[in-house]
Chains A and B, each alone.
Chain A
Amino acid sequence: MARLGMVIDMRSCVGCQACSAACSLENQTPYWSDKWRTQVKDIEKGAYPNTGRHLVPTICMHCEDPACMTVCPSKATFKNEDGFVLVDYDTCLGCKACMAACPYGARYVYDKEDIAEARAVYGDSAQHQKVHIDKCTFCQDRIARGMEPACTATCPTTSRMVGDLDNPDSSVAKAVSSGLAKPLRQDLGTGPRIFYIY
């Protein structure tokens, strides 16, 4: 079984937010409450004229050792066989422990108002019926159909690449093994599956 991972190439990301839009439409996340599974942070550094503008895509890191899972009292947050961190919406208590624990800020509440709005916007195709602490699924439903995650498929700058981390010939494995791509905050020891090229 392939061990899928993602490499995010910050050299080419221009912050167009196609990823956020694609994810929101695919996964019906609450854009109306400014909640997103993936975003591009726009970070200014330094003083003029040596100013830097860093466009940093953020997403759940699908950690090897996920803090959000460890703290989950109902075990609603779990890792599936492929190692992706998912939430069972039916058993999630909405206690927010995971939100506090996640060092990457990758989780948010899909609250009552959001559920109602989702129903209004998406009608009988609404995916989210129950309050839960939402997160990226690495688009399991697309992966199952042989497609890339929505954010990756649409990225106009191919700043997101998905591939098998265990296949030395895959572009993501090459980027990781060469040291070109590194996890964000490696020091936290969570073992992210998302790697960044700075």
Chain B
Amino acid sequence: MSSQKQRSVAAKQTTSSRDVEWVPSICNFCSTVCNVRVGVKTVNGKKTAVKIEGNPNSPLNRGKTCARGQAGLRQTYDAARLTTPLIRVEGSKRGEWNFRPASWEEAYGFVMQKLQEHQVQPWEMSMVGGWTSCVFYMPLALSFVFSTGIPNIVASPMQHCVAAGHLGTDMVTGNFNIHDEVLADFENSKYIIFSMTNSGVGAASTSRLVRFAEAKKRGAKVIVLDPRLSEMASKADEWLAIKPGTDSAFFLAMIHVMLRKGLYDKDFVTKHTNMPFLAIENQGMVVPMMESNEQGYPTAFWVLDQISGEVRKLPGYSNKNTVDVEGKNLLPALEVPQGFEMNGQKPKTIFQYMLDQTAKFTPAWAEQETGIAAATIERIAVEFGQTRPAMVDPGWHGARYENILNTRRLQAILQALVGGLDVPGGWLMSGEYREKLMHFMQAMQKGEETKVLNLPGMHFPLAAAGKFFDPGQWPHGRPSFAMAHSMAEKAAGRPGVIFPAFSDFGLEEAVEGKLMFNGEPYRIKALLMNAANPVRHFYPDSRWKKILTHPNMGVVVAIDIVPSDTAAYADVILPNQNYIERDEPFIYGAGPSPDLAITTRFSAVEPNPNTKGTADILFEFAMGFGALDKYMETIASISSYDLDDIKEEVGKAAKGQQTFTKAIRNVSFKYHAKNLGMTPEQLEKTLREKGVLVIEPVEKLLEHAAIARDLPVPTPSGRIEIYSLMLASFVMQQGYRVNWDPGLVYFPPRLNQEKRPNEFNFIYGKTPTVSYASTNSNNPILMALSKNKADEFMGLWIHPKKAAALDIKTGDEVTMENAQSGQKVQIKAFVTDMVRPDTVFMSSSFGTENPLLENSVGVGTALNKIIPYEVEPIVSAFRSQEFTVRVTK
């Protein structure tokens, strides 16, 4: 072949990424927040994004992106893109797509007029946020509601994921943050157990996948507990098709075996957990012997010193048990001898109580619960206990069962038992979390207060959500509607919810005028939604449709990029810039990256001039409410940003000299540049070049700032809490309930065990191509990839034997009915050996209804049509699998 031909062919066969300019950004297609770079060049005379790649400088995703990350750029050019503010046409009903274009002034004016018309008081409004609101706008969103007196935010990740899962692990480790997901160090682990997660790794979180893949290549043994053969389970050395909702029984039996065979890290457990603390039994409850201050925080614990044989007093807040209150060294005993007495009482250690409590959780017992052979459970417990480093993946999505927090908590306890926290091959805390913790400790030693947004771990939700729960914190004397509803429920003798942080608990009642607080109705009349899609995100869709269409609802505002199903229920839609168009208002920590790093986005392509960034919209609303000064003061009061800087920059924006987004960005750059000893211009140049700036790598951080070993964690005691003082405080406040037993307990999922022939357990999960219920389902490339696997991705997985008995074949349309609530959906069957015979599975990614989303409308079945409104009593986590379904052809 002539080389001339080769050259001519080569010249014509170019690729999209040739001659592009790469602009650093952060992916917005899921909360993994991968660092990406956007390739732009001129197409049809316009600067256009043509290719996205992972940013090779990223400590998170290491230059890689998944299908969503790749295809994300197409959102910018979606035919349904919102390019002008829209106002509902008079006389049309919410739910109908009947809007007229309007100017921004007109749209704001319309909202203000509606608020007046319905005499909406500040507490009668609620913000509704999707995950981007949490990750990218937390300082602005919190300050907005604090300064305008709105005590309500409903945030979609909380009842599904953050509160509903992570809080369980966080009670043990003290972690909890905007990016509280732990980025586990799979690649250095030799033994990994996954439970109730496909979304978190396999389908697909790139920062975790890059590490998990390395583990597979290095030969780590992988165990996956899942009733179906998910992408994750397909990578397992052992796929254990556990009975749905019983994972906690599996973990309790592992703990049973490990405690009895001594297969735990005795050094770590002794020195850094509360296992050696002396405790007594009081009214059937295990209670640590402790002293507390007026706020209820512990000031002292007692242990038995192995060396001297004396009882010694330990400080109430510390990372280690080896120095007593007098500064004397000791080594606590995990067990006290028989007949041990102290002050006339007969205390034992928490460790001994845990032995007692787990006595009944034998592998044989767990076999009955989980359907997994006792010998297998015992073997895995031994392997896990003997292999170092070993890991239980912390899990991602929560919800599903009332026992979810307990399950996730047991995972953290197992991890603590093998000492696998902040060590290679274990759970690694994020650099951002660690930095906050170090600053917090320094401030505490100096007697200085830490601002809310800088609080590490559990301190943050306790302080931030605590404000929403406390009527005294608000000028109008009202807590959030969710807390008001919880109080009303308790008064009526029902359980309520202890910690309904950013929850929709009671929203329906508030809208209907049925919620009472202090003898007056507590109404919600207005919703301001940012990047939220509750009609698809929340369970069930009928509840939110009812809320949004209720005649008492005065005005609904939606800020969106591409019109979600929920946007169709708005009165006013405000068009938003998307992630590749906007300069971010802030510099952020690099998500859950264990390296301490900062990152931000740079505008890669010009936004439509008639769209705005969320920061601008919030500032303009604050101005409309006459709260601009207060807004600025509040931002400064909860963050590290300087008030004078804010006033100067925002002042320019208010005069129209720059956007509010740019104003806050300038403040953020100035603050970070100062900390790094750079000028803002140098920092801008560095971030534009690299996309991510690593300040301190994890290896260095672990040398001096490992949690537990070096730093106390934000649990009440500073230790890793195997016995949960947080749960114990719930017992004190609320009385005993198994949900908040501070020790080791099991409560089974509430599932119909005696099933009819066509009755199944129900489970759901995520596909790698679509993030749950988001408008990215309209992406043409992702939809093409999904349709290519329509059976697996959109079908109802049903076992061949059961399918045969019900005369169901792959592709048949079947009716699935919730056997408890009566909700019904139509879905196509996928007959497969990849699921338990007693269980059916569907994915959570499809079933869009807005006809403007032309690629995804009507494709697949919406998950939230089969799930009822059932929540558990700690955080109102959705019990989204705690029912059975009947399947008929």
Chain A residues near B (Cβ < 8 Å): 9, 11-12, 14-18, 20-22, 24-28, 31-32, 34, 36, 39, 42, 44, 46-49, 51-55, 78-81, 86-90, 122-125, 127, 137, 139-142, 144-145, 147, 150, 153-159
Q: Which of B204-212, B414-422, B461-469, B752-760 contacts A (4 or more CB under 8 A)?
A: B204-212
Given A18-B66, A125-B43: A12 touches B792 (CB 8 Å cut-off) = no
A-B contact pairs, 23 of them (CB 8 A): A14-B201, A17-B768, A18-B204, A24-B781, A25-B71, A26-B51, A28-B16, A48-B799, A51-B229, A51-B834, A53-B229, A53-B234, A55-B231, A86-B6, A89-B12, A122-B43, A124-B43, A142-B15, A145-B18, A154-B64, A156-B206, A156-B210, A158-B64
Contact at B799–A18, with CB atoms within 8 Å? no
Q: Is there an interface contact between B785 and A14, defined as CB atoms closer than 8 Å?
A: no
Chain A residue, CB-CB nearest to B784: A31
- Identity of the chain B residue whose Cβ is nearest the Cβ of A130 in the assembled complex: B12
Residues on B with beta carbons closer than 8 Å to the beta carbon of A53: 229, 231, 233-234, 834
B209 touching A157, Cβ below 8 Å: yes
Q: Specify the chain B residue showing the minimal Cβ separation from A197.
A: B217
CB distance from A147 to the nearest CB of B (A): 8
Compute how far the CA of A147 lies from the CA of B210 in the bound complex, rounded to whole angstroms: 19
**Count of A-B residue pairs with CB < 8 Å:** 199
Tell me which residues across on chain B come within 8 A of A141, comparing CB atoms.
Answer: 10, 13-15, 18
Contact between chains at A159 and B71 (CB < 8 Å): no
**B833 A47 Cβ-Cβ under 8 A:** yes
In the complex, what residues of A have CB within 8 A of residue B408's CB?
A: none
A156 engages B61 (CB within 8 Å): yes
Contact partner, B13, options A31, A79, A81, A140, Cβ 8 Å: A140
**Which of B9, B12, B54, B787: most chain A Cβ within 10 A?**
B9
Measured between alpha carbons, how far is A154 from B216 in the docked complex, in Å? 18
Chain B neighbourhood of A79, CB < 8 A = 1
List chain B residues, Cβ under 8 A from A144.
Answer: 10
> Which residues on the A side are within 8 Å of B16 (C-beta)?
25-28, 125, 127
B653 at the interface (CB under 8 A from A): no
> B66, A12: Cβ atoms under 8 Å?
no
How many chain B residues touch A (CB < 8 A): the figure is 73
Q: Per-position contact with A for B227-239: 1 when CB-CB < 8 Å, else 0?
A: 0010111110001
Residue pair B9, A86 in contact (C-beta under 8 Å): yes
**CB-CB nearest in chain A for B77:** A121
Nearest residue (CB) in B for A139 is: B15
Q: Are B67 and A18 closer than 8 Å at their CB atoms?
A: yes
A26 B15 Cβ-Cβ under 8 A = yes
Instruction: Tell me the nearest residue of chain A to B214, going by C-beta.
Output: A158
Cβ A49 vs Cβ B10 within 8 A = no
Q: Are B833 and A25 in contact (CB under 8 A)?
A: no
Contact B6 A81 (CB under 8 A): yes
CA distance A48 to B799 in the complex (A): 8
- Inter-chain CA distance A9–B219, complex, in Å, is 13
Residue of A nearest to B17 (CB): A26
Check if B768 sits within 8 Å of A14, measured CB to CB: yes
Q: Which residues does B use to contact A, with CB under 8 Å?
A: 1, 3, 5-6, 8-10, 12-18, 41, 43-44, 48, 50-54, 61, 63-71, 73, 201-204, 206, 209-210, 212-214, 216-217, 229, 231-235, 239, 241, 768-769, 780-782, 784-785, 787-789, 792, 799-800, 832-837
Interface centre among A11, A49, A156, A158 (most CB of B within 10 A): A156
In-complex Cβ contact of B781 among A25, A44, A90 (8 A): A25
Complex: how many Å from CA A124 to CA B837? 53
Return chain A residues, CB-CB under 8 Å to B834: 44, 48, 51, 53
Give, as a whole number of angstroms, the nearest-CB distance from B353 to chain A: 37
Contact in complex: B241, A20 (CB < 8 Å): no
A18-B64 contact in complex given A26-B17, A32-B780, A86-B9, C-beta closer than 8 Å? yes
Q: In the complex, A34→B50 CA distance in Å?
A: 20
Report Cα–Cα, A20/B769, bound state, in Å: 11
**B201: nearest chain-A partner, CB-CB:** A14
> Cβ of B6 and Cβ of A80 under 8 Å apart?
yes
Give the Cβ gap from A78 to chain B, nearest Cβ, in Å.
5
CA distance A20 to B686 in the complex (A): 32
- Minimum CB–CB distance for B363 against chain A, Å: 19
Q: Which partner residue on chain A sits nearest B61 by CB separation?
A: A156
Interfacial chain B residues near A124, Cβ < 8 Å: 43-44
Contact B209 A14 (CB under 8 A): yes
Q: Are A16 and B67 touching (Cβ within 8 A)?
A: yes
- Which residues of chain B are near A49, meaning CB under 8 Å? 239, 241
The answer to whether A154 touches B769 (Cβ under 8 A) is: no
Would you call B65 and A154 a contact (CB within 8 A)?
Answer: yes
| Closest B residue, CB atoms, query A153 | B53
Question: How far apart are the CA atoms of A25 and B217 in the complex, in Å?
Answer: 28
Partner of B213, one of A31, A47, A159: A159
A51–B70 Cα gap in the complex (Å)?
A: 31
Write out the residue numbers on chain A whose beta carbons fall within 8 Å of the beta carbon of B51: 25-26, 150
CB of A105, distance to nearest CB on chain B (Å): 14
